[in-house]
């Protein structure tokens, strides 16, 4: 794979106004994508976004670039990322584009692409788009310019799809739940899905103002959901991230059930149902060892990939398996949809509760959880490779691995979405792994400082 200027592990992402995410680059990106995905024949492209203020800016820039390349546009407005993937398939579009920086703060933004089948673009197409961006922008003749229209029923279409991923006999009557929309793209979708299935829903994080997306709320700040569940006496809570492809759940006692726990519940439910579970479950290097142990008890193997939902998806598709995810809450149910979908994953857990007549705590308690310590260290402009190859960092890693032996593991990696080095230590003793993680983070900090 060639080195890329713009695309990272999940599309193009950065701080608004920087070298990757500014109006000039995004306009050119739209034009280049139109040239590659339209293959000179035009076609239809969907554009959706989350609720951050810069979405208006980049929506207009993308629209201009795509139209200049001869592509027609369908504007979806605020829409969860998985909803855009779904609508790209069902509206027979050439591609879908998401304007979102997912769980990042409002001052970041990004551009993600889906192919006509609702899956993320392969590396080859991303590389072709980057190559096209090196060329001078040339507008097609006026009689071939694209047009733009709004899709007025986008939200309703996606709501109905989400409900279709569980049995039509499922009812949530009598279930009280808190739904945290992170002031993001699910704010006008998720509450309706659960309410229409009969749940009594208390909604938080559903008042986006362009600046409050993910701010002390949503899947990256689960304490807000925990507090709301305990104060309301709800049966459970669900928190999404800003673009709706992640979720974290909270049981009635306020205990967090992360992506690993959700994967365990869904895997067990599939095994106990008539449909069964096809193949292995796919996790990442960050997946808790407790999930691997719990799945083994069920007779299911866990296979790991590098961090990033695209790698999970690639392995699932390559092997014709159906279930995978990350601790952060990216959960992919390929027997239901084509990408990670927070609402769809939540519904699979709710179905397990309803048809198993069990609480979320009952269902998730079968998975032991080994303590993990995760520390993020800011790079402050230093290249990740410089830090990873620093002798002080290597010595700290070697010492940590020696201390842990076979009772734990260490993972040091650059973030794919933020300028950070992530330090993760897992083992049987919480206090000990915290000390080890802090020592490695200190060495990383010295490497960053020079």
Task: Please give the Cα distance from 217 to 225 (Å, whole number).
Answer: 8
State whether 17 and 96 are in the same domain: yes
pLDDT score, position 123: 86
Is residue 117 domain-shared with residue 187, that is, in the same domain? no
Query: What does the pLDDT read at residue 214?
Result: 97
Q: What is the pLDDT of residues 198-214, one digit of tens each?
A: 999 999 999 999 999 99
Among 82-86, 291-295, 332-336, 417-421, the least confident range: 417-421
Quick one: what percent of the chain has pLDDT higher than 70? 99
Q: Give mean pLDDT, residues 284-301.
A: 93
Q: Is the pLDDT of residue 116 over 60?
A: yes
Over the stretch 73-105, which tens digit does the pLDDT of each residue have?
999 999 999 999 999 999 999 999 999 999 999
Pair (274, 321) in one structural domain? yes
- 412 vs 388: CA distance, rounded Å: 8
Residue 137 and residue 243 in one domain: no
In a domain, 298, yes or no: yes
Please check the confidence at residue 308 and state whether its pLDDT lies above 90.
no
Does residue 243 belong to any structural domain of this protein? Answer: yes
CA distance 95 to 25: 19
Lowest mean pLDDT of 3-12, 137-146, 263-272, 319-328, name the range: 3-12
Mean pLDDT over residues 216-232, rounded? 97
Residues 272, 225 share a domain = no
Domain boundary among 201, 225, 255: 255
Domain match, 269 and 246 both = no
- Whether residue 235 lies inside any domain: the answer is yes
Whether 102 sits among the annotated catalytic residues: the reply is yes
Question: Do the beta carbons of residue 182 and residue 218 sit within 8 Å?
Answer: yes
- 160 within domain boundaries: no
Q: Are 17 and 148 part of one and the same domain?
A: yes
pLDDT of 432: 87
pLDDT for the residue numbered 208: 98
Residue 254, pLDDT score: 97
Residue 63 lies in a domain: yes
Choose among 186, 254, 249: nearest CA to 50: 186
At 11-38, the pLDDT tens digits run 899 999 999 999 999 999 999 999 999 8
Quick one: angle between helices 342-356 and 81-90, nearest 10?
100
* Per-residue model confidence as pLDDT tens digits over 150-163: 999 999 999 999 99
Q: What does the pLDDT read at residue 2?
A: 56
Point out the domain boundary residue: 321, 348, 369.
Answer: 369
Please report the pLDDT score of residue 418 as a whole number. 81
- Give the residue among 122, 77, 68 at the shortest CA–CA distance from 95: 122
CA distance 117 to 338: 8
Shared-domain flag, residues 325 and 274 = yes
Taking every pair of Cα atoms in the chain, the longest distance, rounded to a whole number of angstroms, is: 69
Q: What is the pLDDT of residues 333-392, one digit of tens each?
A: 999 999 999 999 999 999 999 999 999 999 999 998 889 898 999 999 899 999 999 999
pLDDT band at residue 3 using 50, 70 and 90 as cut-offs: low
pLDDT in tens, 175-198: 999 999 999 999 999 999 999 999
Task: Supply the pLDDT for residue 255.
Answer: 97
Residue 401 counted as domain residue: yes
Backbone angles phi, psi at 107, to 5 degrees: -80, -5
Q: Which of 239, 255, 271 is the last residue of a domain?
A: 255
- Rounded-to-integer distance, Cα 212 and Cα 204, Å: 12
Residue 1 has pLDDT above 50, yes or no: no
Q: How many domains does the chain have?
A: 4
Distance CA 257, CA 260 (A): 8
**Scanning the structure block, which residue is given the tokens 């009557």?**
173
284/251 same-domain check: no
Give me the chain's average pLDDT, please.
94
Q: Are residues 32 and 108 in the same domain?
A: yes
Are both 202 and 291 inside the same structural domain? no
In tens, the pLDDT along 311-341 reads: 999 999 999 999 999 999 999 999 999 999 9
Tell whether 207 is covered by a domain. yes
Residues 82 and 147 in one domain: yes
- pLDDT for 344 equals 98
Q: Is the pLDDT reported for residue 132 higher than 90? A: yes
Asked if residue 305 has pLDDT above 80, the reply is yes
* CATH code for position 422: 3.30.310.50
Residue 312 sits in a domain of what CATH number? Answer: 3.40.120.10
Distance from chain centroid for Cα 130: 23
> Is 158 among the domain residues?
no
Q: How far is CA 335 from CA 261, 316, 351, in A?
A: 19, 11, 15
Domain span holding position 25: 12-152
Query: Which residue out of 54, 60, 100, 102 is catalytically annotated?
Result: 102
């Amino acid at each position: 794979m060639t080195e890329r200027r713009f695309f990272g592990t999940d599309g193009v992402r950065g701080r608004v106004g920087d070298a990757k995410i500014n109006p000039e680059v995004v306009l050119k990106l739209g034009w280049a994508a139109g040239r590659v995905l339209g293959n000179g024949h035009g076609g239809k492209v969907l554009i959706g976004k989350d609720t951050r203020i810069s979405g208006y800016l980049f929506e207009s820039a993308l629209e201009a670039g795509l139209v200049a390349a001869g592509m027609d546009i369908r504007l979806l407005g605020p829409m969860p990322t998985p909803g855009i993937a779904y609508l790209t398939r069902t509206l027979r579009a050439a591609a879908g584009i998401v304007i979102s920086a997912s769980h990042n703060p409002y001052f970041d933004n990004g551009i993600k692409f889906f192919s006509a089948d609702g899956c993320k673009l392969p590396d080859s197409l991303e590389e072709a788009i980057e190559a096209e961006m090196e060329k001078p922008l040339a507008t097609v003749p006026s009689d071939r310019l694209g047009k733009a229209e709004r899709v007025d029923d986008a939200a309703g279409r996606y709501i109905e799809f989400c409900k279709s991923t569980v049995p039509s006999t499922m009812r949530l009557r009598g279930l009280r739940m808190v739904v945290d929309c992170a002031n993001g793209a699910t704010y006008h979708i998720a509450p309706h899905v659960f309410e229409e299935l009969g749940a009594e829903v208390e909604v938080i994080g559903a008042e986006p103002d362009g600046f409050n997306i993910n701010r002390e709320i949503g899947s990256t700040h689960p304490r807000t959901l925990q507090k709301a569940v305990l104060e309301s006496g709800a049966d459970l809570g669900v928190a999404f991230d800003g673009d709706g492809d992640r979720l974290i759940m909270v049981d009635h006692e306020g205990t967090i059930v992360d992506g690993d726990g959700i994967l365990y519940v869904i895997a067990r439910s599939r095994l106990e149902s008539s449909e069964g579970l096809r193949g292995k479950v796919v996790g990442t290097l960050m997946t808790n060892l407790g999930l691997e142990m719990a799945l083994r008890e069920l007779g299911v193997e866990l296979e790991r990939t590098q961090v990033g939902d695209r790698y999970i998806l690639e392995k699932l598709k390559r092997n014709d398996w159906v279930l995978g995810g990350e601790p952060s809450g990216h959960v992919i149910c390929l027997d239901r949809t084509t990408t990670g979908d927070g609402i769809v994953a939540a519904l699979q857990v709710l179905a397990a509760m309803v048809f198993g007549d069990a609480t979320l705590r009952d269902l998730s308690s079968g998975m032991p959880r080994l303590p993990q310590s995760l520390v993020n260290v800011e790079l402050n402009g230093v290249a990740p490779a410089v830090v990873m190859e620093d002798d002080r960092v290597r010595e700290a890693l070697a010492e940590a691995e020696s201390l842990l032996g076979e009772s734990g593991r260490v993972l040091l990696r650059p973030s794919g979405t933020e300028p950070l080095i992530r330090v993760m230590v897992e083992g049987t003793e919480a206090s000990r792994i915290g000390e080890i993680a802090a020592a490695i983070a200190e060495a990383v900090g010295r490497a960053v400082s020079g």
